[in-house]
């Protein structure tokens, strides 16, 4: 393996690569030797291509919106299972990074010291997962920020409700209503407690 360019001969498609975290991912993967498909909705994609090719890298811009946020984990798991036999891996990264899109959430970078929400906290994981060294990492979901990388576990079934016939509105209201009566309303599918730990 070429340690200076461990991704030589590989191709990486990066969505949202015209700015922020997507741009940082594209540049990091290109520096590691990958040819980059730079996707974004606007002309900034062409600027990133010029930056990559200006550094003797290979890149091509593809304009358009390919977001699939609601199903990204399902898409990742499906791609991981379906493409594994071809040596393709797919993993999802849930980054917490300071970009133009998260400006209202995270605010400005600190004036002094390290910015723990910098995109620079995320791109090493992206580049590693694309490298041959991560060939056995497939179908995983990571949260990365502030010097932390968290590996998430699959969701579990908390409770199962059954009926002997077709559900009626009254049965659903009775069974679910009883279940949720004493349950903490802050306990939601968003897994806030788990996310607070990462």
Average pLDDT, the chain: 89
Q: Which of 12-21, 55-64, 107-116, 189-198 has the lowest mean pLDDT?
A: 189-198
Q: How confident is the model at residue 69 (pLDDT cuts 50, 70, 90)?
A: low
Domain definitions of the chain by residue range: 11-151
Q: Which helix (H) or strand (E) holds 14?
A: strand 11-14
Residue 39 · residue 13 · CB < 8 Å: yes
d(C-alpha 149, C-alpha 142), whole Å = 7
The reported pTM is 0.73
pLDDT score at 187? 77
Identify the architecture of domain 11-151 in CATH: 3-Layer(aba) Sandwich (3.40)
Q: Quote the DSSP letter at residue 138.
A: -
Give Cα separations from 57 to 24, 53, 62 (angstroms).
Answer: 15, 5, 16
């Amino acid at each position: 393996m070429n340690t200076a360019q461990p991704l030589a001969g590989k191709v990486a498609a990066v969505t949202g690569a015209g700015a922020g975290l997507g741009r940082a991912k594209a540049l990091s993967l290109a520096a590691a030797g990958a040819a980059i498909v730079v996707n974004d909705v606007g002309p900034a994609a062409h600027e990133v291509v010029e930056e990559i090719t200006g550094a003797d890298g290979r890149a091509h811009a593809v304009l358009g919106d390919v977001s699939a946020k609601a199903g990204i984990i399902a898409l990742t798991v499906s791609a991981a299972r379906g493409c594994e036999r071809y040596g393709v891996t797919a993993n999802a990264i849930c980054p917490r990074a300071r970009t133009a899109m998260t400006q209202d959430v995270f605010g400005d970078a600190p004036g002094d010291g390290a910015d723990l929400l910098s995109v620079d906290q995320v791109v090493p994981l992206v580049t590693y997962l694309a490298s041959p060294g991560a060939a056995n990492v497939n179908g995983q979901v990571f949260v990365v920020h502030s010097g932390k990388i968290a590996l998430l576990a699959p969701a579990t079934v908390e409770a199962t409700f059954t009926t002997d016939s077709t559900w009626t509105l009254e049965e659903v209201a009775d069974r679910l209503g009883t279940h949720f009566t004493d349950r903490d309303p802050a306990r939601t599918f968003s897994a806030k407690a788990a996310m607070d730990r990462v």
